[in-house]
Amino acid sequence: MRQDDWQQHAWQQPQQPQPQAPQQPQQAPQQQAPQQPQSQAHQAQQQPPVQPQQPVAGYPGAAYAVPQQQPRRGWIVALVAVILLFIALMFGMFSCSNAFSGVTSLGTSLESSSPVATTGPTIAVINLSGTIQYDGSACSPEGLKALLDEAEEDPDIKAVVLRVDSGGGTATAGEEMAAYVKDFSKPVVVSSASMNASAAYEISSQADWIYTAKSTAIGSIGTAMQVTDLSGLYEKLGIDIENITSAESKDSSYGTRPLTDEERASYQHTVDQINETFLETVAEGRGMDIEDVRALATGLTFTGIDAVENGLADELGTLEDACAKAAELGGAGESYDVVTLEEESSALDDLLSWENSSDESDVLEALKELDTDGSIVK
């Protein structure tokens, strides 16, 4: 019996070991070993290496077959985790790239407002929260005009409340928005939040009634222009900048040299002229003498308490008080609805709000909107 046959026999019948030791096959002389055919030698090279077998106690050279272990599933879990991580990273880069690609269309998408359903007398609230500027939001001439037009066209909306929380911004934007409020056919009531200053107050001054909280920072009537001179810093850094211009004062605002006396006087005249229009707008809107407004135009804000005393505001009150006053002025009666008019959110806004959303349906809906509003370039 050959050794491998005896080993197999010993494993199959471990309870009845053979009485005699297995016979060892005779070793043929190495020089007379028969040559294996080439095909058999090739097959032997392709066979996988045999795992070392554990010896059976009491039988030298005997071994038992090791049971095949079940494949571990840990690597499967790790592979799935890596795939999910890769998808998340790709999804994040995809979102950012499309967010930046949609920035150029923000102004257009924010100009249109989302329609609201009104049934009966309604007071519309428009939030002016942020810097007054040209960004297409409600704090811009285009955005405010779109929301006011919506309120104008809805017969159920009897009046508008401007909820103002802004420290001002661009003078020209404030001037345009003040004109839109002045020309609005329905009553407008202002509810001042933490701040109603500068260009924001210029807009508010055109309303029919201004509410303020006691601690509101309101007013700050004034105009400012800033020109920075960095020439001293450039000199210390060894940076020499030479401006080639068509006129001597063309580079006066570049910050590479000090202003001349003539340039400083010119800029001061511009500021004074813009500020004069500010004073006239406030005086006309508040029904005050322009000299009284000029006396209050220190550039500083007043508390709500002082603003009611000096005439910049009408009454201390909350947003609810402002809505009640708007209903009174608009003839809405004691029973009325309150709705908020907002600019229509773009797909970029939805993407930026994902971090505040834990619902997967919101994310999927935002992706659908991205896919249909043209933001994705295919």
Whether 159 contacts 341, CB under 8 Å: no
Q: Which H or E run includes 347?
A: helix 347-352
Largest CA distance in the chain: 129
Q: What kind and span of H or E run contains 182?
A: helix 171-183
Answer yes or no: are the C-beta atoms of 220 and 275 closer than 8 Å.
Answer: no
Compute the distance between CA of residue 285 and CA of residue 288 in angstroms, rounded to an integer. 8
How far is CA 132 from its chain centroid? 19
CA 195 to chain centre: 24
The DSSP secondary structure of 138-150, one letter per residue, reads: TTSHHHHHHHHHH
CA 37, 39, 45, 50 torsion: positive or negative? Answer: negative
Give the pairing of strands 337-341 and 157-166.
unpaired
In whole angstroms, give the CA distance from residue 152 to residue 184.
8
134: how many CB neighbours lie within 10 A of its CB? 16
Half-sphere exposure of 113 (CA within 13 A, CB side): 24
Choose, from 114, 215, 249, 250, the residue flagged as catalytic: 250
Q: Which of 140, 198, 205, 220 is catalytic?
A: 198
* 325 labelled catalytic: no
- If we measure between CA atoms, which residue out of 65, 62, 66 comes closest to residue 3? 62
Residues belonging to the chain? 378
250 is catalytic: yes
Distance, in Å, from the CA atom of 363 to the CA atom of 353, rounded to the nearest integer, reads 9
Catalytic residues: 198, 250
